[in-house]
Amino acid sequence: MLGDIGHSPRMCYHARSFSEKGWQVELCGYVEEQVPDFIAEDPNIIVHALPTLTLQGNKRSIIFLVKKVLFQVSAIIAQLWELRGSNYMLIQNPPSIPILPIAVFYRLSGCKLIIDWHNLAYSIMQLKFNGNFYHPVVLASYVIEYIFGKFATYNLTVTEAMKEYLVNSFGLNPKRCVVLYDRPATQFKPLTESESRTKLLDSEFIRDMIPEGFNVENGDKIIVTSTSFTPDEDISILIGALKIYDNSYENLDKSLPKILCFVTGKGPMKERYVKDVEEHDWQHVYVKFVWLKSEDYPRLLQLCDYGVSLHKSSSGLDLPMKILDMYGSGIPVIAYNYPVLGELVKYNENGLKFLDRRELHESLIFAMKDPELYKKLKQGALKESQTRWNSSWQSAMQELKLIA
């Protein structure tokens, strides 16, 4: 994967699942943060850290991007040469450049290629270039996916809609293309009846971030969103909705519970949103930007009443992994709505949906004040939490006849 191993859960789950079937797994990717314990401690998994090219200064130039691609190409080829003789190569897409063409040529060594389509690379690039499909970078990405995607031995997709698109638009063989929905890993689980939420709130990893006077026992609510601070997740919608909620308390309804909102993650637009939050005079809402260890994020989700997803999907064909983590932890979600989201979020059953900050604000009002609604959505989330990765993965691999 051309991403940080510690923050590529789906690929890590693949590695562990193959390992549990007795396969020897060579997991290649960047190691920017700590590799998850279940990967590092698995004797069947060997982690290969790809080298990185450091940006000098803050400005990305065309020359640097060309250097980066050439550096990646040489690093990937060197790694694959070391691992020649492998039976299968599983890659995540996106990105498609430069890994997809290299992977296809690597098939000449006798290795079979599996592409796991998380999304469409060209749609992400199109978003970066203001929706211009005819930008040279967008066109190049589309052509690479369209041509080289056909050479995969097997294909996995995250939704039925994506499978249908790839079959109809890219000409993939439907018999070699299988849907494998994202599912939460075992570390994402609801609090049990014997576990104390209050005690967990007093844990070292979170204790200092609880504002003075904030008390869940008195009905105050905790919400969370996870983001990479990129254009396909507009955090300003959430911040704007929370500002309206804050004003609603001051001017309309003093019975509204306080909200503590955790925003986890990092990315290129983070400082802009941090500044916006710091400059606002909050009265009844607290917004905390946090970057957590991989083992602390599941613990944070257990503490929350609701999760918020702002993922818009550049292609309109993928589903947010963050929602699966939230369901795995037994918390209902309030999610930005787009057509394929219905494959995961059932309105008024396991979550709520919105299209703008006003609708998100209304959803927050209902979610915070209506205990019967919370009870209903909580039950839906707990039901969803029972479906796990291993069963879905095994079913998909059996369909492709990769395992018995």
pLDDT digits (tens, 9 = 90+) for 296-312: 999 999 999 999 999 98
C-beta neighbour count of 75 within 10 angstroms: 17
Q: Give the single-character DSSP code of 20.
A: H
Q: How many residues does the chain have?
A: 404
What would the pLDDT profile of 317-354 be if each residue is shown by its tens digit? 999 989 999 999 999 999 999 999 999 999 999 999 99
At 381, list the tokens. 């989330």
C-beta neighbour count of 291 within 10 angstroms: 12
Strand segments (E) across 227-325? 259-264, 285-290, 306-309
Least confident of 7-16, 185-194, 217-226, 386-395: 185-194
Q: What is the pLDDT averaged over residues 96-121?
A: 95
**pLDDT grade for 224, boundaries at 50, 70 and 90:** very high
Q: What is the pLDDT averaged over residues 88-99?
A: 94
Q: What CA–CA distance (Å, rounded) separates 403 from 394? A: 8
pLDDT of 57 reads 64
User: Among 49, 148, 131, which Cα is nearest to 314's?
Assistant: 131
User: Among 318, 307, 330, which Cα is nearest to 385's?
Assistant: 330
**pLDDT grade for 232, boundaries at 50, 70 and 90:** confident
**pLDDT grade for 59, boundaries at 50, 70 and 90:** low
Q: What is the pLDDT averaged over residues 57-62?
A: 67
Residue type, 315: S
Q: What is the average pLDDT value for the chain, to the nearest integer? A: 92
Q: With DSSP H G I counted as helix, E B as strand and the rest as coil, what are the percentages for the chain, rounded to 5?
A: 45, 15, 40
Q: What CA–CA distance (Å, rounded) separates 367 from 350? A: 12
pLDDT of 152 reads 97
pLDDT of 58 reads 62
CA atoms within 13 A on the CB side of 172: 27
Largest CA distance in the chain: 69
Is residue 78 predicted with pLDDT exceeding 80?
Answer: yes
Residue with the larger pLDDT of the pair 215 and 202: 215
At 163, list the tokens. 């499978």
- Ramachandran quadrant class, 68 (left: phi over 0; alpha: psi -120 to 50; beta: rest): alpha
At 329, list the tokens. 């932890």
Q: Evaluate whether 14 touches 393 at the Cβ level (below 8 Å).
A: yes
Q: What CA–CA distance (Å, rounded) separates 345 from 332? A: 9
Is residue 204 predicted with pLDDT exceeding 90?
Answer: no
- The strand pairing partners of 335, in sequence order, are 309, 353
Q: What is the pLDDT averaged over residues 238-243?
A: 97
Is residue 214 predicted with pLDDT exceeding 80?
Answer: yes
Tell how strand 306-309 and strand 285-290 pair up. unpaired
Q: Which residues of 127-166 are buried (b: 16+ CB within 10 A; e: fewer)?
A: beeeeeeeeeebeebbebbeebbeebbbbbbbbebbbebb
pTM of the model: 0.82
What would the pLDDT profile of 266-275 be if each residue is shown by its tens digit? 888 899 999 9
Q: Could you report how far apart the first and last alpha carbons of the chain are, in Å?
A: 26
- The torsion angles phi and psi of 83, rounded to 5 degrees, stand at -100, 15
At 86, list the tokens. 């492998």
Q: What CA–CA distance (Å, rounded) separates 149 from 127? A: 21
Is residue 60 predicted with pLDDT exceeding 70?
Answer: no
What would the pLDDT profile of 139-186 be if each residue is shown by its tens digit? 999 999 999 999 999 999 999 999 999 999 999 999 999 999 998 877
Residue type, 168: N
Residue with the larger pLDDT of the pair 60 and 74: 74
Residue type, 141: S
pLDDT of 251 reads 84
pLDDT of 379 reads 96
Is residue 294 predicted with pLDDT exceeding 90?
Answer: no
- The strand pairing partners of 109, in sequence order, are none
Q: What percent of the chain has pLDDT over 70?
A: 99
Residue type, 297: Y
